[in-house]
Structure 1
Amino acid sequence: PPSAEQILADVQGTQPSDPIFILPAEPPQEHPGPAPGCPEPAAEERERLYRQIRSYVGMNQRLQRSREQLRERRRELQAAGEALDRGIAEMRQKAF
């Protein structure tokens, strides 16, 4: 199965007109619809899921940015640690 990163890359690379984002037509209802101005429960559920998915995608994007920032910070700290180790080694050589 694809990794989470592969799935996100695939979703982020799709166009809004992609079939995955188009809801299938609902079959005709056999009973009268809700009162005018009142959304159907199915529509409310779709809207709730849509908002939940948008929230998830936004959170995922923020997490990816944070991950990259942490990787960069880790590289900086590793470089600083290596420089510190070299400085300590030089001081020890001069002391002996």
Structure 2
Amino acid sequence: MNIVAKSKKRVVLPSRPNPPTVDQILEDIDRAAPNDPVFSVLEKTGQDSSRPSPDSDAELKFQQCREYLELNERLQEARERLLKQREELRAAGERLQEDVAEVKGRTL
């Protein structure tokens, strides 16, 4: 059996370009027209109005710190509620044990 294999020439694809830097992305956004479709898509999905976009790294860090502090405050409030609830449960447990002991004392 004589099989002739056709050799395909490998096509060399160009290498992928490097992803844009943050500065290049920001520059591109700044140059975009207000009627750019991206902005209208953001408005439709509600992503544009939920929180202002940070203009700088300092603004981003500020927003992150602010969110951290808000979450930390909520955690402290939840901790206080849980401590109070734990104390209430402990007191209810003690009352229940006293009631059980009283009922057992009556039946004997």
Please give the TM-score of this superposition, normalised by the length of structure 1.
0.55
Aligned equivalents of 1:68, 1:95: Cα separation in 2: 41
Q: Residue type matched to 1:57 in 2?
A: L
Q: Residue type matched to 1:93 in 2?
A: G
Equivalent residue runs for 1:8-87 within 5 Å: 44-87=56-99
CA shift, 1:44, in A, is 1.2
CA shift, 1:82, in A, is 0.3
Unaligned runs of 5+ in 2: 1-26, 31-54
Q: Residue type matched to 2:56 in 1?
A: E
* 1:11 corresponding residue in structure 2: none
SS of 2:78's equivalent?
helix
Q: Residue type matched to 1:72 in 2?
A: K
Per-residue CA deviations over 1:10-59 (Å, capped at 9, x if unaligned) read xxxxxxxxxxxxxxxxxxxxxxxxx8xx6xxxx61111110000000000
Unaligned runs of 5+ in 1: 1-34
Q: Residue type matched to 1:84 in 2?
A: L
Give runs of ≥4 in structure 1 deviating > 2 Å.
none
Per-residue CA deviations over 1:64-85 (Å, capped at 9, x if unaligned) read 0010000000000000000000
Question: Pairwise CA RMSD of aligned residues?
Answer: 1.9
Aligned equivalents of 1:57, 1:95: Cα separation in 2: 57
Aligned equivalents of 2:78, 2:67: Cα separation in 1: 16
How many residue pairs get aligned? The number is 57
Aligned equivalents of 2:74, 2:80: Cα separation in 1: 10
Please give the TM-score of this superposition, normalised by the length of structure 2.
0.49
